[in-house]
């Protein structure tokens, strides 16, 4: 298959598909952190019509996720950025590609465009981590979990390795926190390549 991984600079999902023999390419405004030979640096909207069989899209969640939407009423211009982000998501979902998976955290895509087809967790795919990730699917089956990781129990509550005892994410504020938080877990990338292989 010709596979486009939109809004990915890491190459994680792209390379999982390349290992399965697919002609997979990543595309992002940022340069890739992996092999640049299979990366298109630029606007993904310019290549959506280039004959892809499958697209997996990771649009930036900054103005879409629930954790940041409260700022829309506090910072001038931020609500307009949410509208732009939703328009971008709509263009990705409406792309002329038979199979599409779009992933994003819980946020306003669910209420403004449509509910996700599935919500997955890294702990369902071999990682000691909790991070609810929604999938909007077209022409693809839901991902089946591959390896469940049991959590710690803190005062009767489930907590994974990336969480504090109170349930917060352990990553402190930093210049690259967005990059660390947006990374695709390898177990999820491998499940996509294995289960969406044809």
Domains, the chain: 2-193 (3.40.50.150)
Residues in the chain: 198
Res 3: pLDDT: 98
**Model-level pTM?**
0.91
d(CA 57, CA 60): 10
Contact indicator for 34, 10 with CB cutoff of 8 Å? yes
The residue with tokens 């001038």 is 76
**Angle subtended at Cα 192 by Cα 95 and Cα 133, rounded to the nearest 5 degrees:** 80
At 163-185, the pLDDT tens digits run 989 888 877 666 665 565 678 99
Pick from 70, 66, 59, 74: nearest CA to 28: 59
Confidence band for 80, pLDDT divided at 50, 70 and 90: confident
Q: Does residue 128 carry a pLDDT above 90?
A: yes
Q: How far is CA 76 from CA 41, 62, 93, 112, 150, in A?
A: 30, 15, 28, 21, 43
């Amino acid at each position: 298959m010709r596979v486009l991984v939109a809004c990915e600079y890491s190459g994680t999902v792209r390379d999982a598909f390349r290992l399965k023999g697919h002609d997979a390419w990543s595309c992002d405004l940022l340069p890739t952190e992996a092999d640049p030979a299979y990366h298109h640096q630029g606007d993904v909207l310019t290549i959506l019509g280039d004959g892809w069989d499958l697209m997996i899209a990771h649009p930036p969640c900054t103005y879409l996720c629930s954790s940041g939407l409260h700022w829309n009423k506090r910072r001038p211009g931020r609500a307009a950025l949410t509208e732009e982000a939703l328009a971008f998501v709509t263009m990705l979902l409406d792309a002329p590609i038979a199979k599409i998976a779009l992933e994003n955290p819980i946020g306003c895509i669910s209420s403004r465009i449509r509910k996700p087809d599935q919500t997955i967790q890294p702990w369902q795919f071999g990682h000691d981590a909790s991070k609810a990730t929604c999938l909007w699917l077209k022409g693809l089956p839901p991902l089946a979990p591959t390896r469940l990781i049991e959590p710690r129990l803190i005062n009767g509550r489930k907590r994974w390795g990336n969480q504090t005892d109170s349930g917060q994410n352990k990553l402190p504020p930093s210049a690259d926190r967005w990059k660390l938080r947006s990374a695709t877990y390898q177990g999820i990338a491998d499940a996509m390549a294995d289960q969406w292989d044809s």
